[in-house]
Amino acid sequence: MSDFEVIVVGAGLAGSVAAYELAKLGKEVLVVERGNFAGAKNMTGGRIYVHSLRKVFTDEELADAPFERKITHERISLMAPDANFTVDFSSNAMDNPDTASYSVLHATFDQWLAEKAEEAGAEMIYGIPVESLLKDENGKVCGVRAGEDEITADVVILADGANSLLAKEAVGYEKPPANQMAVGVKEVFELPAATITDRVLAGSDDEGAAWLFAGDATHGTFGGGFMYTNKESISLGVVAGIEACANGDAPVYQMLEDLKNHPAVAPLIKDAKVVEHSGHMVPEGGINIMPPLVADGVMLAGDSAMMCINLGYMVRGMDYAVAAGQLAGRNAAVALEVGDTSAAVLQCYVEDLANSFVMKDLCEYYAEPAFLEGFTRMFRGYPEMIRDILNDMFIVDGRPAKRLLNMTWPKIRTIGIFNILKDVRGALSAL
């Protein structure tokens, strides 16, 4: 007899939700987290779309969730070294409970999720890394090895992040190529709530902004910057492709320093105190780098399954992790009920995912990672072109004014009309 029916590796979004679902169904589940607390090792994102959480928790339960601010402003910037062009979008549709999104801090939000799993009956162990998987004589996963302990289970759910140490052992997954992965660094800046509200032009201290930067944020290489407003802090960071960093002119930590000092960003964090600094691997390849999701006795969910997508104008992964964790927990419970945790039975998890928004989204945007990687003019070219056009439009120095076409056409020619048409065609095809 196994020590537990299910062992979940990782107490992030996917892991805690899977444990919550299993415990709620009366299953004996243990969560093993290498950090000293849930969220200690997690920096990905900063924003969650609540539609997936609403399928897991009641409105009453979500009322106690430690959300930071409701996102009511979407901002996207094309950033040149000495200029910045920003689109600021807001809409009443963001107030709909089914479409709302919130900024979150993992150190608090992940702990809340883990507490929900514990309240449902799951057991949690922190500060212990899982070093390897246990397998029986037939090669079926039957537990984990953590330190000097061997703990057995009928099913193991891997939710241990994008840099999973166990995916190869579980499903034979090799590390993805460098051009399909990114590295992210983030700092959290403490500021009074009212100051943040004023600086991002939010309607109240409960509202905030999500801001993505392309161009000089990563010194013209593949990647981008991000900013999320919390109640009394601002999360600011950079995500850059590993291959782009290796071939670029600056390491990622320098990119973040330069972003902090850019004229468009520096006023946001003026007089702020840095209270957190973290780094993390981020999957960028979408479905193209997704490992097998099940094998005998084991399932993968969340970042360990590469369930993340960067569309350039939007980054998603948290709602995928929540949905995958829920489906993993429910399907593991079904396998336990029928007494068969082989890959053939656990395939029901894969089928449910295929019918969910998670896989439908990832399949829809399968071509997007390759397009963005080759969309070099978005990072160096278009930001400078926009700067030059807008300088001609808005800078008045006493010289005779030009007609709009005469101002814009020379700048467009620096990129090339055929290059622009090629990029538009590629974007329409991939996005």
Q: How far is CA 295 from CA 5, 234, 298, 335, 343, in A?
A: 16, 41, 5, 13, 5
pLDDT on residue 155: 98
Indicate the average pLDDT of the chain: 92
pLDDT on residue 180: 84
pTM score > 0.75 for this model?
yes
Beta strands at 4-9 and 29-33: parallel, antiparallel or unpaired: parallel
Same domain, 198 and 218: yes
Q: 22: closest CA among 156, 136, 132, 140?
A: 156
pLDDT on residue 98: 87
Q: What is the dihedral of CA 396, 399, 404, 406, to 10 degrees?
A: -140
pLDDT on residue 204: 96
Q: In the chain, how many domains are there?
A: 3
**Facing residues of 103 across strands?**
47
Tell me the C-alpha distance between 232 and 174, whole Å. 41
Q: Are 110 and 16 in contact (CB under 8 A)?
A: yes
Domain of residue 243, residue span: 179-283
Give 45-76 pLDDT, tens digit per residue.
589 999 999 999 999 999 999 999 999 999 99
Check which CATH number belongs to the domain holding 55 and give it. 3.50.50.60
pLDDT on residue 284: 83
Domain-located, residue 337: yes
173's tokens: 């997954």
Same domain, 327 and 360: yes
Same domain, 47 and 138: yes
The residue from 314, 340, 364 where one domain ends is 364
Q: Are 217 and 239 in contact (CB under 8 A)?
A: no
CB atoms within 10 A of CB 310: 23
Same domain, 250 and 377: no
Query: Which residue positions in the chain have pLDDT lower than 70?
Result: 41-45
pLDDT on residue 44: 56
Q: Can you say how many angstroms the Cα of residue 373 is from the centroid of all Cα atoms in its chain?
A: 18
120: left (phi over 0), alpha (psi -120 to 50) or beta: alpha
Same domain, 184 and 56: no
pLDDT on residue 147: 81
Same domain, 212 and 243: yes
Domain-located, residue 399: yes
DSSP 397: -
Q: How far is CA 132 from CA 88, 129, 166, 229, in A?
A: 47, 9, 6, 38
Same domain, 143 and 19: yes
